[in-house]
Structure 1
Amino acid sequence: MNASPPGGAPGEGRYGEAFFRPDRAGEAERIDFGALAYDDITMARLRALGAGPGWSCLDIGAGTGTVGRRLLGEAGVASVLAVDRDVRFLDARPAPGLRTLQADVTDPGFAPGSFQLVHARFVLMHLPERDRLIGTLAELVAPGGVLVLSDAVDLTSERGPATPYTTAMRAMWQGLRATIGTDVSSVPAYPHLLRGPGLDQVAAEIHVPPLVPGSAISRFWAGTWQRSRQAMLSTGLIDDAGIDAAVRYLESDACAALSAGMLTAWGWKPGGTAG
């Protein structure tokens, strides 16, 4: 897959600054559409890995806190520390056992403790030095605990048929890489990368939610394109009319496409009893 213009270097901007600003109206709703599309899959995996009573959990890039609240309410974990660079959405929806921490995972001093579960979804794909950050997150896993990473995998933009949707997705990936450094090209390597810091029992899976009119994932992509419009236009691959056509395509019965998938990889830290 090609997530950037040929020879292009990742941009130096940051997620949540030039694009996807939390102070922009509707951003929490966009995040929640993503949660509606993926939370059931995330929760099924976390519970299958044993998340439950007695577990302390760290949720990196927690967004609006949907995973943390479900870990507490459905899995019955002991506590969740929800971390984000901006915690306004988390603080707006408090829950017993859910603590929030405004912090940057890329800060060399980031060390909030050790946890049976360390979870990061749609975070590393937006950050440089992913290999180093995977090692950092692995250090936060208690012996016997598990690190779970989920990020997007692009299934259509390189060889997909020419449709308004594939044009928009290609422009989105290239535009976001050039502006804020988003890069999904290394996501399929996550299982291998989890072995680097010494994790065991590494495995992975991919989920692709169906694109149907009015679905949460379709509304998520439409909102994402609207918020990243300038980055998409900067690629020269699409114009305003093309983005609008892609949104209409998602909302129509003519839509026949694959969404980007979510790859989830996990690995256990040797020792202890959590795994």
Structure 2
Amino acid sequence: MTDAPRGDAPAGGRYGEAVFRPEQAGESERIDFGALAYDDITMARLRALGAGPGWRCLDVGAGTGTISRRLLQEAGVASVLAVDRDVRFLTERPAPGLDVLEADITAPDFAPGRFRLVHARFVLMHLPERDRLIATLAALVAPGGVLVLSDAVDLTNDRTPGTPYTGAMRAMWQGLRSSIGTDVSWVPAYPHLLRGAGLMPVAAEIHVPPLLPGSPLSSFWADTWERSRAAMLATGLIDDAGVDEAIGYLRSDECAALSAGMLTAWGWKPKP
């Protein structure tokens, strides 16, 4: 059951629903473009951590359910509980062993059980209560289990070449922070936060996928900029022509840029 947004929700709505609306045409395709860019990396890490037969898993912010289904079909886990604020894309694609729960993970009573694997990707970066939420998710990990968190890392800085892509990314991050509360600046602190939640040992890695014309990742960023265009324009860092130029740049052979990275950190719940 989805709880109503609380008073600390940003003006853009919790989880960014005001910008990335599930009911908007093409939103499931945008999510799947991101999945095509990152799912292989995520699955390689989860399997390296041991995800397999007998594991009961929780997939937080499951989106269209690509990782949930691959855990079942490729890793052979026992079950996956896929959680999201809006489950329309999950219920459209049922699978054996896949249970679906519509819920707000920020709700005080969010406690769906204990799991050998708790996984959340591109979720916490949109929420302000990150310290509390990491503690909440850590509490859902069974002894001997693992919490795996992935979020974006902004790789632009003052020395990054001034390309149309760089300008659009800077405007996007600032616009999303102002409108829906997205903040990726703290993501490198994941290992420290996991340790603070009582997990050990902890480790982390970063993956930066290539930006290639016509690639799923390029399509993901183009669609993301279209949906967040108003927030980007409100920063004053870019205008409509600049957004259009950046989208064209992604589709051209001139594109030479680093995508935002995906940092993945994990920590183990000690056995008694």
Partner of 2:234: 234
Partner of 1:113: 113
| 1:16–1:22 CA contact under 8 A, matched in 2 | no
Deviations 1:99-120 (A, max 9, x none): 0000000001100000000000
Deviations 1:153-181 (A, max 9, x none): 00025431111100000000000000000
| Deviating more after overlay: 205-214 vs 13-22 | 13-22
| 1:64–1:90 CA contact under 8 A, matched in 2 | yes
Give me the whole-angstrom Cα distance separating, in 1, the residues matched to 2:254 and 2:127: 35
The answer to whether structure 1 residue 255 and structure 2 residue 255 are counterparts is yes
Give me the whole-angstrom Cα distance separating, in 1, the residues matched to 2:104 and 2:268: 24
1:71 Cα deviation from its structure 2 partner: 0.1
Which ranges in structure 1 are unaligned for 5 or more consecutive residues?
A: 1-9
Partner of 2:201: 201
Partner of 1:131: 131
Q: What SS does the corresponding residue of 1:37 show, helix, strand or coil? A: helix
Give me the whole-angstrom Cα distance separating, in 2, the residues matched to 1:15 and 1:271: 33
How many residues are paired up? Answer: 263
The answer to whether structure 1 residue 91 and structure 2 residue 91 are counterparts is yes
| 2:47–2:75 CA contact under 8 A, matched in 1 | yes
The answer to whether structure 1 residue 163 and structure 2 residue 163 are counterparts is yes
Deviations 1:93-141 (A, max 9, x none): 1100000000000001100000000000000000011011000000000
Q: What SS does the corresponding residue of 1:255 show, helix, strand or coil? A: coil
Amino acid at match of 1:138: A
Give me the whole-angstrom Cα distance separating, in 2, the residues matched to 1:207 and 1:169: 18
Q: What SS does the corresponding residue of 2:270 show, helix, strand or coil? A: coil
| 1:204–1:266 CA contact under 8 A, matched in 2 | yes
Amino acid at match of 2:264: T
The answer to whether structure 1 residue 147 and structure 2 residue 140 are counterparts is no
Give me the whole-angstrom Cα distance separating, in 1, the residues matched to 2:159 and 2:126: 23
Give me the whole-angstrom Cα distance separating, in 1, the residues matched to 2:261 and 2:16: 22
CA spacing shift, 1:147–1:244, aligned 2, 3 Å: same
Amino acid at match of 1:34: G
Please report the RMSD computed on the Cα atoms of aligned residues, expressed in angstroms: 1.1
Which ranges in structure 2 are unaligned for 5 or more consecutive residues?
A: 1-8
Give 1:204-219 correspondences, 5 Å limit.
204-219=204-219
Give me the whole-angstrom Cα distance separating, in 2, the residues matched to 1:156 and 1:26: 28
Give me the whole-angstrom Cα distance separating, in 2, the residues matched to 1:57 and 1:15: 22
Give me the whole-angstrom Cα distance separating, in 2, the residues matched to 1:69 and 1:124: 21
Amino acid at match of 2:203: A
Partner of 2:82: 82
Amino acid at match of 2:266: W
Amino acid at match of 1:271: K
| 1:62–1:68 CA contact under 8 A, matched in 2 | yes
| 2:82–2:98 CA contact under 8 A, matched in 1 | yes
| 1:134–1:194 CA contact under 8 A, matched in 2 | yes
| 1:155–1:259 CA contact under 8 A, matched in 2 | yes
The answer to whether structure 1 residue 182 and structure 2 residue 196 are counterparts is no
TM-score by length of 2: 0.95
1:17 Cα deviation from its structure 2 partner: 2.3
Q: What SS does the corresponding residue of 1:134 show, helix, strand or coil? A: helix
Amino acid at match of 1:216: P
1:253 Cα deviation from its structure 2 partner: 0.4
Amino acid at match of 1:107: A
| 1:157–1:169 CA contact under 8 A, matched in 2 | no
The answer to whether structure 1 residue 66 and structure 2 residue 46 are counterparts is no
Give me the whole-angstrom Cα distance separating, in 2, the residues matched to 1:99 and 1:245: 43
Structure with the greater relative contact order (CA < 8 A, sep ≥ 6): 1 or 2? 1
Give me the whole-angstrom Cα distance separating, in 2, the residues matched to 1:122 and 1:43: 15
1:18 Cα deviation from its structure 2 partner: 1.3
